[in-house]
Amino acid sequence: MKRSTRTLLAAALVLGVAAGPAALSPAFAATAPAASAPAPAVPPGSPDLSAVIAGLPRADATAALVRVGGTGGSWRGAAGVHDLESGAPADPAARFRAGSVTKVFTAATVLQLAAEGRIDLDRTARSYLPELIPGRYARVTVRQLLNHTHGIPAPTLPGTTVEEWYERRFEAYEPGELVRSATSKPREFRPGTRQHYLNIGYTIAGLLVERVTGDSYEHQVERRILRPLGLRDTYLPGGEAEIRGPYNHGYQTMRLDDGTTGLRDVSVWPATDGWAAGDLVSTTADLERFTRALFAGRVVRGPLLEEMFTLPPVTDFRSGDPAAFSAGLSMKRLGGREVWGKTGGRWGYNTAIASTRDGSRTLVYSVNSTDAKGQDTNRTVLSLMVGAYGLPD
């Protein structure tokens, strides 16, 4: 974890848990009436995160849905608004864009196929997709795609600011197009020697699933994970722009048409650039059920589950810190224990699943962040993680 993130986590504990919610800016407060669901009773041993989300909407977030579970008890909370125009309370059962939490589902699907002998983690991606992976990346293995040690850079996408991306939000990207853009560039490092967290490895993994099964990636995730676990409110939208069913609106701070800076509703924004790396739509109830099943060994079974809890012995490409990402998950030490999970961000939405390895404490949240995908982690998000698990070691 970067030092700046450590500092922010500590600040979040003070500001978000101990001192309560931050005040709205005057401009924001004028259009955002507070509306919060009543906090439920807190079982003994379970963290009460009501102080973290009380007072929403505020400058950094308009709504939050939170679930804490495990052997120490459970707690559920919802706060904020369904949308700023009506000020109606946030719907605790609403769907949201889960961003890179998608990668956990993709990794689990690949590992299931590996358990069936249809994918070999030590085989090269090029041996499965020879027409797509060029010779310069001939030695990248499937395992390296999943743990971000492949050395393939990100594809080039048009636009450099959120305003430009918003204007082009309905442009569709084909997975093969993204892979060809990325693999046309020189490698960032020799495969297996460093780690760089990017989407592209999971885009290739999704295509690999399609190649070995002769089926769509979306249908494979549905039949292998969504249907068996009863995740009825979770789906992969493809090019669909609007979230199906009820959802709490997501807002992003950006430059508006009149030249001022304010909030724009970004709920209708397809995620074809993410695909198998980031386009999942879900609910906190479904993600909590998935997290419990995953950590209990009911999604990926046997020795291959250890791939999700094994960090490669390399350093981060940019920071030089020890690798923090495994196949599908990441690990942080919080409150004296290892916490495994995955965060995700799409414009207007931040999401996470997290758990101790033994499942004694789980955390799932969706925060309608006004600074999602920004340089710094959202303050409410940081406060939730610290409130559930404690400060970083």
Q: What residue ranges in 192-267 does DSSP mark as E strands?
A: 194-195, 251-255, 261-265
Q: What is residue 373's predicted lDDT score, i.e. its pLDDT?
A: 85
pLDDT per residue as tens digits for the range 78-97: 999 999 999 999 999 999 99
Confidence grade of residue 24 (pLDDT, cut at 50, 70, 90): very low
Q: What is residue 45's predicted lDDT score, i.e. its pLDDT?
A: 58
As given in the structure block, the two tokens for residue 212 are 């070995």
Domains of the chain: total? 1
Domain of residue 146, CATH code: 3.40.710.10
**Residue 249 CB neighbours (<10 A):** 23
As given in the structure block, the two tokens for residue 151 are 């050395």
For residue 177, the SS3 value is: helix
Q: Is the pLDDT of residue 290 over 50?
A: yes
**What's the domain range around 328?**
3-389
Q: Is the pLDDT of residue 21 over 90?
A: no
Answer positive or negative: Cα dihedral of 88, 94, 99, 100: positive
49: nearest Cα among 60, 59, 64, 70: 64
Phi/psi region, residue 230 (left: phi>0; alpha: psi -120 to 50; beta: rest), is left
Torsion angle (degrees, nearest 10) of CA 369, 327, 102, 293: -100
Q: What integer is the mean pLDDT of 117-131? A: 98
pLDDT per residue as tens digits for the range 292-336: 999 999 999 989 999 999 999 999 999 999 999 999 999 999 999
pLDDT per residue as tens digits for the range 225-266: 999 999 999 999 999 999 999 999 999 999 999 999 999 999
Q: What is residue 48's predicted lDDT score, i.e. its pLDDT?
A: 84
Q: Is the pLDDT of residue 13 over 90?
A: no
Nearest 5 degrees, angle CA 269-CA 275-CA 280? 70
Which is higher by pLDDT, 281 or 39?
281
Instruction: Return the percentage of the chain with pLDDT > 90, whole number.
Output: 85
Beta strand 337-346 with 349-356: parallel, antiparallel or unpaired? antiparallel
Amino acid at 171: E
> Rg for the chain (alpha carbons), in Å?
20
At 162, give phi and psi (nearest 5°).
Answer: -60, -35
Answer positive or negative: Cα dihedral of 252, 231, 107, 129: negative
pLDDT per residue as tens digits for the range 129-180: 999 999 999 999 999 999 999 999 999 999 999 999 999 999 999 999 999 9
As given in the structure block, the two tokens for residue 73 are 């008890």
Question: The pTM is what?
Answer: 0.90
Contacting residues for 43 by C-beta, under 8 A, at least 6 apart = 72, 73, 74, 75
Structure letter (DSSP) for residue 120? -
Please tell me the total number of residues recorded for the chain in this structure.
Answer: 393
Contacting residues for 255 by C-beta, under 8 A, at least 6 apart = 163, 261
Q: What integer is the mean pLDDT of 106-115? A: 98
Confidence grade of residue 34 (pLDDT, cut at 50, 70, 90): very low
